[in-house]
């Protein structure tokens, strides 16, 4: 967290929290949601200012409820998550990079949702893979030791038997099925803090 943010928190400790104005989309872009976007339940406008995006990335954290927020000076700006708290991209040198610009260490678990999205977990961090990189990982997957076909993958997603594995950077990891609506409870995060009762 930036020192200037820590100083502001100490100086103004009781600033009300902000809900609904900031979102993280499934491709790792921060989106500003004005009143019109909030009324329409729209994603909002993508933030393109590099300094602002960097500031948000450095001051992004989680509270005890599993809600993610951006500490904007003394104020917590809670984030609506389209997918998971982090979004990952493949990287030729690091393996995976998070939307915050940090390298993601080798995944401990790999999940596939019913719609084909891929989730990666390392320690406390859960990241959905940017959909533009899914095809690359699918090419590195095997079903029962053979390169997975589209038909085989669909059958596996629908519940057929067989072990799906990901071979990535010299490691072999089992891929588990996961229902999209199961992820928040299993991994302790809130996608819509603005819809929690008695938001403060």
Q: Which domain holds residue 155?
A: 86-186
- Please, which pLDDT band fits residue 4 given cuts at 50, 70 and 90? low
Between 168 and 119, name the one with better pLDDT: 119
CATH number of the domain within which 26 lies: 3.10.540.10
Separation CA 152–CA 97 (nearest Å): 29
Are 104 and 148 in a shared domain?
yes
Strands (E), 55-104: 60-62, 68-72, 75-81, 86-91, 95-98, 103-104
How far apart, in whole angstroms, are the C-alpha atoms of residue 143 and residue 176?
12
> Do 78 and 90 sit in the same domain of this protein?
no
**Band of the pLDDT at 200, cuts 50, 70, 90?**
very low
Indicate whether 38 pLDDT > 60: yes
Residue 100 above 90 pLDDT?
yes
Query: Could you give the CA distance from residue 41 to residue 20 in angstroms, rounded to a whole number?
Result: 9
| H-helix or E-strand spanning residue 187 | helix 183-187
**Same-domain pairing of 92 and 170:** yes
> How does residue 107 score in pLDDT terms, banded at 50, 70 and 90?
very high
Residues 101 and 69 both lie in one domain: no
Confidence (pTM): 0.89
Instruction: Give dist(CA 33, CA 85) in Å, integer.
Output: 18
Phi/psi region, residue 3 (left: phi>0; alpha: psi -120 to 50; beta: rest), is: alpha
Query: Which residues are paired to 104 by β-bridges?
Result: 96
The confidence score (pLDDT) of residue 142 equals 95
Q: How many structural domains comprise the chain?
A: 2
Q: Are residues 123 and 182 in the same domain?
A: yes
What confidence score (pLDDT) does residue 116 get? 92
Mean pLDDT for 28-35 is: 95
| Residue 116 shares a structural domain with residue 63 | no
Could you tell me if 46 and 104 are in contact, meaning their C-beta atoms sit under 8 angstroms apart?
no
Please determine, for residue 98, whether its predicted confidence score (pLDDT) is greater than 80.
yes
d(CA 45, CA 150): 35
Please check whether residues 33 and 78 belong to one and the same domain: yes
Instruction: Tell me which of 67, 82, 97 is where a domain ends.
Output: 82
Q: Does residue 120 form part of some domain?
A: yes
- 56 and 30 in contact (C-beta within 8 Å)? yes
Three-state SS at 52: helix
CA distance linking residue 2 with residue 188, whole number of Å: 26
pLDDT grade, residue 27 (50/70/90)?
very high
């Amino acid at each position: 967290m930036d020192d200037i943010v820590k100083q502001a928190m100490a100086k103004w400790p009781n600033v009300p929290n902000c809900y609904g104005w900031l979102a993280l989309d499934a491709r790792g872009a921060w989106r500003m949601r004005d009143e019109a976007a909030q009324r329409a339940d729209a994603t909002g406008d993508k933030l393109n200012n590099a300094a602002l995006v960097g500031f948000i990335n450095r001051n992004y954290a989680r509270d005890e409820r599993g809600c993610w927020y951006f500490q904007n000076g003394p104020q917590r700006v809670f984030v609506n998550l389209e997918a998971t708290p982090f979004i990952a991209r493949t990287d030729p040198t690091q393996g995976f990079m998070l939307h915050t610009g940090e390298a993601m260490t080798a995944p401990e678990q790999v999940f596939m949702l019913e719609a084909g999205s891929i989730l990666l977990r390392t320690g406390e961090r859960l990241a959905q893979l940017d959909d533009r990189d899914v095809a690359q990982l699918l090419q590195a997957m095997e079903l029962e030791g053979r390169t997975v076909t589209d038909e085989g993958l669909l059958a596996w997603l629908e519940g057929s038997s067989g072990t799906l594995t990901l071979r990535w950077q010299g490691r072999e990891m089992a891929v588990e099925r996961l229902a999209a609506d199961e992820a928040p409870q299993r991994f302790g995060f809130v996608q819509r803090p603005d819809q929690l009762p008695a938001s403060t």
